[in-house]
Structures are given as C-alpha cells and as structure tokens.
Chain A
Amino acid sequence: MSSQVSIRTKGLWHTFDNFHALRGIDIDIGLGENIAILGQNGSGKTTLVKHFNGLLKPTRGSVEVFDRNTTDTSTAELARFVGYVYQNPDHQIFSDTIREEIAFGPTNLGLPREEVEKRVEEALSLAGLSGFAGSYPFTLGKGMRERVAVASVLAMLPKLLIIDEPTTGMDYSGLLGVLRMLERLKDPKKSIIIITHDMWFAARFADRLIIMSEGEIIADGPTREIFLREEILEKAFLRPPQPTRIAQKLVRFGIRPDCLSVEELFAEIQRLAGKPWQ
C-alpha cells in the first residue's frame, strides 16, 4: 500500500524567523497523479515543494518521500527519486551544449557512461529537443531553455517530478511546447507536480488541484470539482479559465459548468444546439 504513495506530509509547519510560511499541511500524493499547486505569491507553494526533495526540513511535523523521512535524508540522496526543476532555468544551466547539460544529473548519480548516454537521448526526445543536442543552451529562447532544464532533471529518471512555474514569461508556442512535453511525461507509475499561476495551463495539465493561501491548503481535489468552488477560488484570488467561466454563466441553458477547455465548451454548445432552445 505504501508503495502507491510518493509523498506524505503530516502536520507540516515551516517557520522562517518569525514568519509561519506553512501552517499544518497534511497531504498524500499518490503515484500517477498529475497535480497543479495554485495560490498567490507568498502563499507557501514553493516552500511546500522544497520540502519534497529535502531542500527545506520541517520546523514541525514530518515529510515522507517514498517512505523515507526527509529529516535524515540529504537532498543529493533524494535526487534519485525526486526531480526538481527551478523557476528560472538560468539558475542551473552551465554547460556548453545541451547534451552535456542533461548528462550532469545522471553523472552525479554515479551511473556508467553508456547508461548516461542512453538516458540523455531519452530525455532529449521526451523534451522534444532531439535535433538540438549540440546547441549552445544560452542562446535559446525561454521556452527551449525551460525544456532543457526539465530534460536535465528527466534524465535522472525521477519517480516524482516537481516543476516550479514552468510557463512564466512564455509565448503561446513556448507554452504549448511545455504542455506537450508534460503530456508525454504522464505515467501511471510516476507523479508530476507543477506550481503555476496559469489557470489555462493548470486546467489542461492537472487532474488534481491543490489551492494554497497563507500557508494552508484551502482546497484539494479533482480539477473539475475545484473550479466549481467559486468562494474558495476567490479567497485565493484565483479565477477558473475562461471556457469554464463562460460555461458556468450558461448553466441555466443546460451546459455542464465544469468544461475545462474551449473544445469541451464547444461540444456542449453543439450538443444543445441539436435540440430546440427553451
């Protein structure tokens, strides 16, 4: 049973100086879950996920990652299971070529050369970077650099992948590139957690949403259900994506209020248009 759980926190508190960044977080994250964590700046999202690879240790309570207590496990050790992609890819890219950049993580794990090379190739194709292995990473666009950062963590074959704001400052094509890559990464034996402010992106990617506000989880559940809970979203200063909001306004015409995309909403309208209006 425990093998189905990747992360389990119990009464997790984290305090910086006198500021309580996390106030009693209890969550279980299962294998195969694709989660988006939403919330205002300063609501504790990044602080929470930094506990998942041991960068931060609980002030109170406990965090178990694949049945290991993070308090007595180092970040380098947890890096074998947990991949963490930082908000800004420029905080980690340092190599002359994308290939070398991606090889850094698996080499740190002490893997033999052939295995490293194999993983680099896999990560390159998963991230949609196959033609760019020899490119110089610094001259690429933001969306590509983000994918390099993700690929460099993927090559470590983490069972849990955490990505902090994968879409900030990206144009639509960069956004789609990241989304397509994440879709390819979905795996019933692995978990993915993203932190984002982009409701459209969360709706498209995640099947479970966790909403944070002032260091607490104020909502946690399936994406469709959470986007219906207006009063809670408002508390975190969030709004559902536009198709969902339109659908909610059209409920009285018989449209499902939990449409997540333009396509879903369109299908609903089409379904109704087949019938006479009342």
Chain B
Amino acid sequence: MRYSLFEPKTSFVHSLDPRTKLVWLLTMFSLAVLFVDPLFTMTIFASIIVVMVTSKLSISRLLPQLRAIALVACMSVLLWPIWIKPGNVLVSFGSLRITDLGLFMGVGVAFRLATLMSVGPVFLMTTSQRDFIAGLTHLKLPYKVVFLLSTSFRFLPAVIGEIATITEAQASRGLELDKGSILERFRKRLPILIPTIILSIKSSQNLAIAIESRAFGAYKDRTCLSELKLRRADCVFYVICLSVLAFGFWLRLQGYGTIE
C-alpha cells in the first residue's frame, strides 16, 4: 500500500521551492478558469505535459490520473455538443444537431478540466510532504491548519487501504456488493462504512495522543528542519508564472480566448 503520492526523483521541478510550485499551481488554475477557447486551454494543458516530462514522473504512477482525465475529457467532448445549439450545423440526427460551436466548447472545456485535474497530482508527486509543510508554514499559515492539511493527505491512502481490508473481511462473510437494487446496494455499504468510521476515529485519537506527547503546539512559532530559501531558478519561475498570469488576464480583458 502506498501512503503518499510523492515520487522521489532528482529533477528541475522537484528541486523548486514548494512555494514556487504553489504559485505555479494557482497560475494554472486561474488560466484554466479564464479561457474556454480550445486553442488556449490546449496550450495550457500542453505546458503541464511539459512539466510532467521534465519532472521525470513514471508513467505507471501517472496512469491512474491520466485515465481519469481521459474519461472526463471524453464526457465533455460528447456532452457539450448536445446542449449547445447555436453555430453552424456539422451533423444532424433528427432533432439532435451537432454544431461547430458545440464541438468547440466540448473540446475547450475538456482541456480545461484536464488542466484542473492534473495540476494537483503533479504538485503532490513532485513535492515531499516535508517540503509541502515547510512551504505552507513559510507562507505564515497557522501550523494547526498546515498540520490538518498535510495529515489529511497523509491518511487518505491509509483509509483507502483500510476500506479494502474491511471489504474483503465482509466479502468473506458472504456480502455481495454488486447485487440488488440501488437502495439495497447502498444499504450493503453500511457494513463497510461503520467499521471505517470507527477505525478512523480511533486512529485520530491515537494520532492526537502521539503528537501531544511530542509537544505539539508547545511553541506558537514553528521552526522547520529544512529552512526554505528561494533560489535564482525559483525567482525566474515566479516571474514567468506571474507574467504569464498577467498576460492571460490582459488577453481575456481584450476578449480573446472565449467562445461567444
């Protein structure tokens, strides 16, 4: 069982300051939300692919994310043309008309979603948990909030592991999840849900005791084992991100990148 998405590698992206990567993440989010034009969203997504390649992430680790992205993107391409009526008709089946505008919208939104879905995983896969915490702490976020965020990332895979074990245990008692009506199937999740919740509460109690016995919150200001320093590459990356973002806003205000 894997407990973290982080993949230790030596690459340019890995060596960047976590705060820089956060700025990159926010830039990508904003750009993705700003534009719908497929040409724009495709370019944004392509830049993420470039980051993925430079960070030397292994395909096998990326595959589950890519698969989910492909699924959502396909849905967008298939569903938007059904709802968008204006534009030049490309094909029509009875009352269903597929217009160029609809298709445009579908492809545009597909790449927007792909961007939104891939930025987070790339960030988490290239940033160790320690760096992530240090980054958030240096941004002057209260340490309790930082701890909350980082432990939820840390415990999610563990909980997924527990759910798998519980599902097996109940299957051994003859529970068949994929039989019956929707209501029945929902009810059949209870024997899995209840032990999961109880175990999670127990483990959070244990965690509380463990961190308190190690002086959690004894000092208001928290120091970090690895002090972060912005390097030249980080500054360059900052400037690039911020200028691209500013340029993006300007383009959008000029009316580029949208679909009328």
Chain A residues with CB under 8 Å of chain B are 50, 53, 55, 74-76, 79-80, 82-84, 86, 88, 90-94, 104-105, 108-109, 138, 152-153, 156
Contact between A55 and B173, CB atoms less than 8 A apart: no
Contact between A104 and B198, CB atoms less than 8 A apart: no
Q: Is B195 an interface residue (CB 8 A)?
A: yes
Interface residues on B, range: 20 to 34
**In the complex, which residues 181-206 of chain B have their Cβ closer than 8 Å to any Cβ of chain A?**
190-195, 198-199, 202
Most chain A CB inside 10 Å of its own CB: which residue of B169, B170, B173, B174: B173
Known: A55-B168, A86-B165. A93 touches B173 (CB 8 A): no
Give Cα A174 to B239, complex, Å.
Answer: 65
How many Å from the CB of A187 to the closest CB on chain B? Answer: 20
What 7 pairs between A and B have smallest CB-CB spacing? Answer: A108-B174, A94-B194, A84-B172, A79-B174, A92-B169, A105-B173, A86-B169
Interface of B is mostly: helix
**Cβ–Cβ < 8 Å partners of B173 in chain A:** 79, 92, 104-105, 108, 152-153, 156
Q: Which residue of B lies closest to A94 (CB)?
A: B194
Known: A90-B195, A91-B195, A92-B195. A75 touches B162 (CB 8 A): no
How many Å from the CB of A208 to the closest CB on chain B? Answer: 23
The contact of A92 among B166, B190, B193, by CB within 8 Å, is: B166
The contact of A76 among B166, B174, B191, by CB within 8 Å, is: B174
**Cβ–Cβ < 8 Å partners of B165 in chain A:** 86, 88, 91
Contact between A76 and B195, CB atoms less than 8 A apart: no
Q: Is B207 an interface residue (CB 8 A)?
A: no
Contact between B191 and A104, CB atoms less than 8 A apart: yes
Q: Is B175 an interface residue (CB 8 A)?
A: yes
**Cβ–Cβ < 8 Å partners of B192 in chain A:** 94
**Cβ–Cβ < 8 Å partners of B174 in chain A:** 76, 79-80, 105, 108-109, 156
How many Å from the CB of B252 to the closest CB on chain A? Answer: 46
Q: Which residue of A lies closest to B197 (CB)?
A: A94
Give Cα A80 to B174, complex, Å.
Answer: 8
**Cβ–Cβ < 8 Å partners of B172 in chain A:** 53, 55, 75, 79, 82-84, 86, 153
How many Å from the CB of B56 to the closest CB on chain A? Answer: 20
Q: Which residue of A lies closest to B193 (CB)?
A: A94
How many Å from the CB of B39 to the closest CB on chain A? Answer: 41
Contact between A55 and B171, CB atoms less than 8 A apart: yes
**In the complex, which residues 221-240 of chain B have their Cβ closer than 8 Å to any Cβ of chain A?**
none
Give Cα A109 to B199, complex, Å.
Answer: 27
How many Å from the CB of A65 to the closest CB on chain B? Answer: 13
Contact between B162 and A94, CB atoms less than 8 A apart: no
How many Å from the CB of A87 to the closest CB on chain B? Answer: 9
